[in-house]
Amino acid sequence: MAVEKLINCQQDSRLPLTVTKSDSKLYMTFITFAFISLFIGGFMGLLQVLVRSGHFTLPAGIDYYQVLTVHGVILGLVLTTYFIVGFQYALMGKTVGISDTQRRVGWIGFWVMTIGTILAAITVLYGKASVLYTFYAPLQAHPAFYIGLALVIVGSWIACFVNWRQLYVWKQKHPGEKSPLLAFMVVINMIMWFIATLGVAATVLLQFIPWSLGYTATIDVLLSRTLFWYFGHPLVYFWLLPAYMAWYAIIPKIIGGKIFSDSLARLAFVLFLFFSIPVGLHHQLTEPGLDTTWKFIQTVLTFMVVIPSLMTAFSMFATFEITGSKKGYGGLFGWLKHLPWKDVRFLAPFVGMLAFIPGGAGGLINASYQLNSVIHNTIWVTGHFHLTVATTVILTFFGITYWLVPHLTGRKLTKSMNRLGIIQTIFWAVGMTIMSGAMHIQGLLGGPRRSAYSEYNGSEQVAEWGAYQMAQAIGGSILFIAIILILYIFIQLTFFAPKGKEEFPIAEEEENAEPTPMWLEKWKVWVSITVILILFAYTIPIVVVIQHAPPGSPPFAWPIGNN
Amino acid sequence: MHLHKYEKWWLIFGVGALITFLIVLGFGAFYIGTHPQSHGITIDPENIEAEEAFKPENLGLTKVDEGQYVLNVVATAFNYDLGKDEDGNPVKHIQIPKGSTVLIQATTPDVVHGFNIAGTNANMMIEPGYISSMEVTLNTSGEFTLLCNEYCGVGHHMMYATVEVTE
């Protein structure tokens, strides 16, 4: 006869759920796709820094901008989306569960995204879509490129619907209970993603596809740019929030502590939902067709994310300090000693957090209205997002990989893999400091982004940039070594590491923690406020753009070699 | 919801700094009048010469008064048209005396371009259908590179001219 308590305990779905083989196959497929993308995109990045050093030319007539398009699309759109969708499925599966139907729909999403990616990839490889990941009109790529992008978006929407359904089903089974923190965060991120991608879907489906197929003769360039950047800024928060999920709810467990404040974490995510979208105009500050008043209003809204960012920073260091003093490490900085520096699951995300200090400060500069003219479209901006997404976000994703992949494949993160991971993190930090630092400085000196090697007019000013481009080549090469290391670790953890059980670390609240207020679960209110803020920030600018539109632009395919 | 005492201080300090920062930005924008370019003046990209400023004979640098210049530019893939010199060769080098103000007016008949006198605040997007315009005062002498900083195609990095600020 079974112990009754034990049965109850096992049926309590608030416990971390187990991941079945078929579940982990879905999650691992997404994550594997992300790592393949990392290799391809990283290799393109290596080619770019080598070309820009001035000592290397691409063989076989390959165009620099074709390489740059692959780099941006595959790292900015493919790697991130696949990893995030896979990671979020794992979080949902672990906290609220996944049904067979949900998993099957999840696979449909994977295939829709993947067909789209392959379609877009073919056009880029044939040199028919060297338009970079922003695909600004009126440069015209092959229609299949835009159709491919649309499919990637639609595929990711399927993941949104599944994640929402997963929490909905759980809530039906647990009336009156607060949703698990990680599930709450995933659903917030997917709401933001869905609302944000409506903009890019609108421009791709209604403007680019008919225009590239020849059904419409011209395109409204400014409208397409405005819709793109309506999506383009929340895109970066879509990358960042999964990293924050790990910081808030997973890192505390790894360091042997508890969640600092469940309700504060939720509030921060709600604020990110509000202030990620109605802010896209700060990417368009130097454009001629938009009104200064609305540029300024959206600048102010942009800076509101400072508040949840400060809350996040406080929570992180509070967790570290509280955990340290509980373990008996006193003094002002004693808590620093207790942190598990030799555990790569902690070290990699921690280095990511550190990178976010200069990364965030650079972001403030970029968005600050007047100062934007100093750095707009200089390689400073490239340096900036290589700190934020390519260090903060990606090192956190690596930190997740070290435990998530062996957990899903039924293996162990061995000591030697852990050590290799630490070396990888150091390589990444060093390589990025050199590369991103050189980009920042060269940008302040006026060096442009998104440009192949050029001596321009041969002036002293341009010659001065050469040393920084050489530094970028050195930093970029170190980063490529780090990419090889993480791929080796990924392959080991997937196929070869010894069998065993790796923990899926989910932090808990303090036993005497204050209960989380239920108003934080008022989804309809949060979505309504988000929509109202967007309508406020965008209605007039978009109406003006449409009403005062100049004659539209015909397609230009020849400048990108798409003849 | 409970907020830790230190967290309250931290947020009060942070939000206070944020408000101060935004006031500085607003002061700069609306009192001093430092805005990024935003004119919203449209033009037919297929007929830019309908606008006097972009007729071939009016392109390039024109002195309108002592220390005051107008610089009319047509950006095309992959060239800045700054007019022609006396021999009929395209101008690729312009000289402006230090301290003068220059009204830059630019447009394009084809794709999106950038206009950046590298290392200065003269930085704007040029988009088909719109006239980009800003006034700058050049206070540092030396040779500056005018370059395209928005991707416009395979020859994007070959699109440049030289702006020399003379003593």
pLDDT digits (tens, 9 = 90+) for B125-154: 999 999 999 999 999 999 999 999 999 999
Higher pLDDT residue, A562 or A508?
Answer: A508
Question: CA neighbours within 13 Å on the CB side: how many for A242?
Answer: 29
Please tell me the distance from the alpha carbon of residue B55 to that of residue A77, in angstroms, as a whole number.
Answer: 42
Q: Is A286 on the interface with B (CB under 8 A)?
A: yes
In a domain, A529, yes or no: no
* Contacts with B143 from chain A: Cβ below 8 Å: 457, 459-461
Mean pLDDT (whole number) for A46-57: 95
Minimal C-alpha gap between A33 and chain B (Å): 29
Please tell me the distance from the alpha carbon of residue A204 to that of residue A202, in angstroms, as a whole number.
Answer: 6
A215 and A347 together in one domain: no
pLDDT digits (tens, 9 = 90+) for B34-56: 889 888 899 999 999 999 999 99
What is the value of ipTM here, to two decimals? Answer: 0.95
Cα of A5 vs its chain's centroid, Å: 43
Nearest CA in chain A to B124: A286
pLDDT of res. A3: 55
Minimal C-alpha gap between A464 and chain B (Å): 12
The answer on pLDDT for A2 being more than 80 is no
A528: exposed, middle or buried (C-beta count within 10 Å: 0-12, 13-18, 19+)? exposed
Known catalytic residue: A233? Answer: yes
CB contact under 8 A, B10 and A314: yes
Please tell me the distance from the alpha carbon of residue A550 to that of residue B8, in angstroms, as a whole number.
Answer: 50
Cα–Cα separations (whole angstroms), residue A179 to A17, A170, A182, A532, B3: 14, 8, 8, 25, 21
pLDDT digits (tens, 9 = 90+) for A470-526: 999 999 999 999 999 999 999 999 999 999 999 999 999 988 888 889 899 999 999
A51 and A195 together in one domain: yes
Reference A35, options A489, A352, A471; nearest CA is: A489
Can you name the residues that pair with B79 across neighbouring β-strands? B76
Q: Is A294 on the interface with B (CB under 8 A)?
A: no
Take residue A483 and report the two structure tokens written for it.
């990419």
A496 and A357 together in one domain: yes
Looking only at the bridges linking them, the beta strands covering B60-65 and B132-137 are: unpaired
Known catalytic residue: A174? Answer: no
CB contact under 8 A, B127 and A286: no
Which residue from A454, A457, A544 is facing B162, i.e. has the nearest CB? A457
* Contacts with B36 from chain A: Cβ below 8 Å: 285-286, 292, 295, 369-370, 372-373
Known catalytic residue: A385? Answer: yes
Which of A279, A369, A379 to mutate: most B Cβ within 10 Å? A369
Phi first, then psi, for residue A257 (nearest 5°) are: -120, -165
pLDDT digits (tens, 9 = 90+) for A247-260: 999 999 999 999 99
pLDDT of res. A350: 97
pLDDT of res. B4: 81
* Contacts with A137 from chain B: Cβ below 8 Å: 112
Q: Is A263 on the interface with B (CB under 8 A)?
A: yes
* Contacts with B115 from chain A: Cβ below 8 Å: none
Angle, vertex CA B17, rays to CA B13 and CA B18, nearest 5: 120
Mean pLDDT (whole number) for A431-438: 98
Please tell me the distance from the alpha carbon of residue A465 to that of residue A469, in angstroms, as a whole number.
Answer: 6
What does DSSP assign to residue A53? T
Please tell me the distance from the alpha carbon of residue A15 to that of residue A4, in angstroms, as a whole number.
Answer: 17
Which residue among the candidates A83, A385, A402, A538 is catalytic per the annotation? A385
Please tell me the distance from the alpha carbon of residue B2 to that of residue A260, in angstroms, as a whole number.
Answer: 11
What is the extent of the structural domain holding A481? 340-454+461-505
In a domain, A49, yes or no: yes
pLDDT of res. B5: 85
Take residue A162 and report the two structure tokens written for it.
């599944």
Tokens 């042997």 — which residue? A256
Q: Is A58 on the interface with B (CB under 8 A)?
A: no
Q: Note the helical H segments in A327-414.
A: 335-338, 344-367, 372-375, 379-387, 394-409
In a domain, A86, yes or no: yes
Take residue A66 and report the two structure tokens written for it.
């074709």
Residues 110-169 of A with CB under 8 A from B: 130, 132, 136-139
Please tell me the distance from the alpha carbon of residue A212 to that of residue A61, in angstroms, as a whole number.
Answer: 26
Element (H, E) at B162: strand B160-166
Q: How confident is the model at residue A60 (pLDDT cuts 50, 70, 90)?
A: confident
State whether the Cα torsion B111-B117-B119-B124 is positive or negative: negative
CB contact under 8 A, B111 and A261: no
The answer on pLDDT for B17 being more than 80 is yes
pLDDT digits (tens, 9 = 90+) for A303-316: 999 999 999 999 99
Q: How confident is the model at residue A237 (pLDDT cuts 50, 70, 90)?
A: very high
Please tell me the distance from the alpha carbon of residue A555 to that of residue A297, in angstroms, as a whole number.
Answer: 33
Average pLDDT in chain A = 94
In a domain, A179, yes or no: yes
Count of Cβ atoms closer than 10 Å to residue A330 Cβ: 9
pLDDT of res. A49: 97
pLDDT of res. A15: 59
Take residue B91 and report the two structure tokens written for it.
């101008």
pLDDT of res. B147: 96
Reference A436, options A490, A395, A487, A484; nearest CA is: A395
In a domain, A415, yes or no: yes
Element (H, E) at A22: helix A21-52
Residues 375-394 of A with CB under 8 A from B: 376-378
Size of interface A-B (CB pairs under 8 A): 239
In a domain, A524, yes or no: no
Angle, vertex CA A258, rays to CA A254 and CA A261, nearest 5: 130
Looking only at the bridges linking them, the beta strands covering B160-166 and B123-126 are: unpaired
Q: How confident is the model at residue A13 (pLDDT cuts 50, 70, 90)?
A: very low
* Contacts with B5 from chain A: Cβ below 8 Å: none
Q: How confident is the model at residue A5 (pLDDT cuts 50, 70, 90)?
A: low
The structural domain count of chain A equals 2
Take residue B37 and report the two structure tokens written for it.
């370019």
CB contact under 8 A, B26 and A296: yes
List Cβ<8 Å contacts ≥24 apart for A519-522: A520/A178, A520/A184, A520/A263, A520/A266, A520/A267, A520/A270, A521/A178, A521/A179, A521/A184
Angle, vertex CA B91, rays to CA B86 and CA B95, nearest 5: 95
The answer to whether the CB of B28 falls within 8 A of the CB of A370 is yes
A354 and A206 together in one domain: no
User: Is residue A451 helix, strand or coil?
Assistant: coil
Cα of B102 vs its chain's centroid, Å: 11
Q: Going edge to edge, which strands form the sheet with B123-126?
A: B93-97, B160-166, B142-147, B113-117, B123-126
Mean pLDDT (whole number) for A528-544: 96
Please tell me the distance from the alpha carbon of residue B98 to that of residue B24, in angstroms, as a whole number.
Answer: 29
| Boundary residue ending a domain (A189, A219, A249) | A219
Minimal C-alpha gap between A374 and chain B (Å): 5
| Boundary residue ending a domain (A185, A219, A253) | A219
Please tell me the distance from the alpha carbon of residue A518 to that of residue A183, in angstroms, as a whole number.
Answer: 15
pLDDT of res. A9: 47
CB contact under 8 A, A377 and B150: yes
In a domain, A431, yes or no: yes
| Boundary residue ending a domain (A219, A240, A268) | A219
A417: exposed, middle or buried (C-beta count within 10 Å: 0-12, 13-18, 19+)? buried
Which residue from A65, A446, A556 is facing B116, i.e. has the nearest CB? A446
* Contacts with B93 from chain A: Cβ below 8 Å: 457
User: Nearest 10 degrees: CA dihedral of A195, A200, A202, A206?
Assistant: -170
Reference B129, options B36, B37, B57, B39; nearest CA is: B39
Take residue A551 and report the two structure tokens written for it.
């004659």
Looking only at the bridges linking them, the beta strands covering B68-76 and B101-107 are: parallel
In a domain, A301, yes or no: no
Nearest CA in chain B to A554: B110
Question: CA neighbours within 13 Å on the CB side: how many for B69?
Answer: 22
The answer to whether the CB of A288 falls within 8 A of the CB of B36 is no
Please tell me the distance from the alpha carbon of residue A248 to that of residue A266, in angstroms, as a whole number.
Answer: 10
Known catalytic residue: A384? Answer: yes
CB contact under 8 A, B142 and A461: yes
Please tell me the distance from the alpha carbon of residue B92 to that of residue A281, in angstroms, as a whole number.
Answer: 33
pLDDT digits (tens, 9 = 90+) for A288-336: 999 999 999 999 999 999 999 999 999 999 999 999 988 888 777 888 8
Count of Cβ atoms closer than 10 Å to residue B78 Cβ: 18
Q: What is the 3-state secondary structure (H, E, C) of A506-557?
A: CCCECCCCCCCCHHHHCHHHHHHHHHHHHHHHHHHHHHHHHHCCCCCECCEC
Minimal C-alpha gap between B57 and chain A (Å): 24
Please tell me the distance from the alpha carbon of residue A139 to that of residue A186, in angstroms, as a whole number.
Answer: 36
pLDDT of res. A347: 97
CB contact under 8 A, B22 and A378: no
Angle, vertex CA A358, rays to CA A357 and CA A363, nearest 5: 100
A196 and A65 together in one domain: yes
Known catalytic residue: A386? Answer: yes
Which of B137, B144, B151 to mutate: most A Cβ within 10 Å? B151
pLDDT digits (tens, 9 = 90+) for A63-88: 999 999 999 999 999 999 999 999 99
pLDDT digits (tens, 9 = 90+) for A199-236: 999 999 999 999 999 999 999 999 999 999 999 999 99
Which residue among the candidates A165, A174, A376, A449 is catalytic per the annotation? A449
Mean pLDDT (whole number) for A397-405: 97
State whether the Cα torsion A166-A170-A171-A177 is positive or negative: negative
